[in-house]
Structure 1
């Protein structure tokens, strides 16, 4: 929640990187309080500013005279490395989506996906600093339920861009960019799974796209919750640097009586989004060039069979979702008798 005119509570961020820092951000004639930590990045600072002002991170330009402009332009820079001083006030220049006439629902095109070495991936998941960031996110981000969690159901978490929707191809109607069999897939999955949508974009974009595709009003299934980019955290890899990911622990912490690592599966076209919960992620084939590929794309139909087959298992975290295409009912029978 935005508050006005509060300075920082620490003289330096370099010695205590996990200490909370309170910054005052001036924008559009008002001042907003933003709280971050020294081990957060500039990208995380922009998330918090977005939460207060509704200006998306990609629209923000941060100005602070004692900091090199290039530093504040690099989302990967740690705040502990910047010369922030007491009573810091910075200026943000940016425009909300409501004030942008063209391309109001523009979504970032995320590329350069990668798979981390196994040892490094385990280290990231178990790293104390990343667990701290997850705890902070759990306290900061409240998941709003659109429909009640259902007792005894597993949880399916779905990305949007290139998973359910081709967000880059031009079209007169968004339905032309919808992945084939989307509604059939969601209706079938809903029999065994609660469904949450988690996108690395703004909540406004998530709600708009899901409404345009008819996902929020379909009578054959219900969406439990929508999550946006503010629910993500930033982690650091020795080989790949700093990047964002989607920690399922956020969901598990807020609904522990319903969901856990044992009954959750997440579909995303970017495997790096699973780094905090690799055992629960399934990398879906990206849906691109919708006009030429929609007649042949059957990914959701095939995944329906897989989802319904594994729904009988007590612990989904023991599966290797990389091999989902070779999974069969015989696999289920063998695992149930182990």
Structure 2
């Protein structure tokens, strides 16, 4: 397998490497491993500099050009801790980080069940998750509630059409968003997880009135820094959202049995395929706003499964045809 051969290129594969990164007259220390990608290195640099990965240009003796490929494994680059890496980039303190600047991901793919299990169970990916758990802290906005299930929600094309333009962001909000969140809150704690920067997450959630709604509370918000990079034999290297990060930080509240995640990109479920529900993307808000009722229908589904002991046994791809009564008879007969 390609991933196995590339991971054996260097003894740096399993060993941690400490790099010195010079930026804006200061030197920062960043720790990575050989099985990390360049994209992961940029995430680590972002943690200490607040310069978003997409705005970083990395300069390094003789191999600087390779550092432009975010999917390249660090084990394939002869990095040495004796050399200093220079990063050029600008912090966006006064800039709204709008996703219009980012490439639109339209080539979503559905990884076959066997390969999804293989990716989830690979030791290299488990180790990446363990490192992310150790490195990333989830800040609670509101306390976890005992006895509640967990609903994890993407933003772009799930709750909000980030590609269309409007004078008022509320025009791009998915219909019935607040009704959906208010209803879900009765049985579920709610976390927001976007593959963008935390600044974008906070700005959009404030603009949509999600953070100060009196009818529900957001437990926590996660951004691209909480994601990990995995490799598929068919689709190459990509980022995903490992729910194991949340489960590890709050084991007394959440687990695979009581968690469900909505996202328009199925690749984000690859580390927890039994907990992901691929939601229909909300695009072209002005044309589809009057007809989109996805959140209303999903509210009914969340209610139908809210009293089940184990959500991971469900096939969430078939949520529209779910019959709670028939499921319980089949499950417990």
Tell me which interval the TM-score lies in, with the shorter structure as reference length.
over 0.9
Aligned to 1:59: 55
1:105 aligns with 2:98: yes
Which structure 2 segments of 5+ residues have no match?
A: 1-8
Q: Secondary structure at the match of 1:262?
A: helix
String of CA shifts for 1:105-148, please: whole Å, max 9, x gaps: 33633332111122111100000000000000000001010000
Residue 222 of structure 1 and its aligned partner are, at CA, apart by: 0.3
The alpha carbon displacement at 1:330 in A equals 2.0
CA separation of 1:335 and 1:204: change in aligned 2, threshold 3 A: farther
**TM-align CA RMSD:** 1.5
1:167 to 2:165 alignment: no
Scaled by the length of structure 2, what TM-score is found? 0.94
The aligned counterpart of 1:262 is 257
In structure 1, what is the Cα distance between the partners aligned to 2:116 and 2:19?
A: 32
Is 2:124 the counterpart of 1:129? yes
- Counterparts of 1:27-46 in structure 2, within 5 Å, are 27-46=23-42
Match of 1:75 in 2: 70
Query: Matched residues in 1 for 2:185 and 2:330: separation?
Result: 23
Q: Could you say which residue in structure 1 is the equivalent of 2:19? A: 23
Alpha-carbon separation, structure 1, partners of 2:15 and 2:278: 36
Deviation at 1:99, TM superposition (A): 5.0
1:190 and 1:14 map into 2 onto residues whose CA distance is 48
Matches of 1:336 and 1:214 in 2, distance apart? 40
Please say if residues 34 and 74 of structure 2, whose CA atoms lie closer than 8 Å, have aligned partners that are also in contact.
yes
Tell me what 2:236 maps to: 241
Structure 1 residue matching 2:166: 3-state secondary structure: coil
Alpha-carbon contact 1:282-1:321 (below 8 Å) kept: yes
In the TM superposition, structure 1's runs of 4+ consecutive aligned residues that sit over 6 Å from their partners are none
SS in 1 for 2:167: coil
Report how far residue 336 of structure 1 moved: 6.3
How far apart, in 2, do the equivalents of 1:96 and 1:164 lie?
27
Residues 310 and 332 of structure 1 are in contact (CA less than 8 Å); yes or no, is this contact kept in structure 2? no
Give the distance between the partners of 1:86 and 1:182, measured in 2 at CA: 49
Is 1:252–2:243 an aligned residue pair? Answer: no
Instruction: Name the residue aligned to 1:3.
Output: none
Question: Which residue in the other structure is 2:323 paired with?
Answer: 328
Matched, 1:50 2:50: no
| 2:226 match | 231
Measured in 1, the distance between the counterparts of 2:282 and 2:221 equals: 21
Aligned to 2:296, which of 290, 301, 304? 301
Please name the residue that 2:199 is paired with.
204
Taking the aligned partners of 1:33 and 1:181, their CA distance within structure 2 comes to 46
Cα deviations by residue, 1:169-203 (Å, 9 ceiling, x for unpaired):
01101100000000000000000000000000111
CA offsets 1:200-232 (integer angstroms, 9 cap, x no match)? 011111011101100000000000000010000
Distance 1:191 1:332 in 2: 23
Task: Report the 3-state secondary structure (helix = DSSP H, G, I; strand = E; otherwise coil) of the residue aligned with 1:91.
Answer: strand
Q: Distance in 2 between matches of 1:90 and 1:46?
A: 12
Q: Normalised by the size of structure 1, how large is the TM-score? A: 0.93
SS at match of 1:157: strand
Shift of 1:312: 1.1
Pick the structure with more helix per residue. Answer: 2
Partner of 1:290: 285
Deviation at 1:97, TM superposition (A): 1.5
Alignment partner for residue 177 of structure 1, among 172, 175, 189? 172
The CA distance in 2 between the partners of 1:117 and 1:337, in whole Å, is 29
> Size of the alignment, in residue pairs?
324
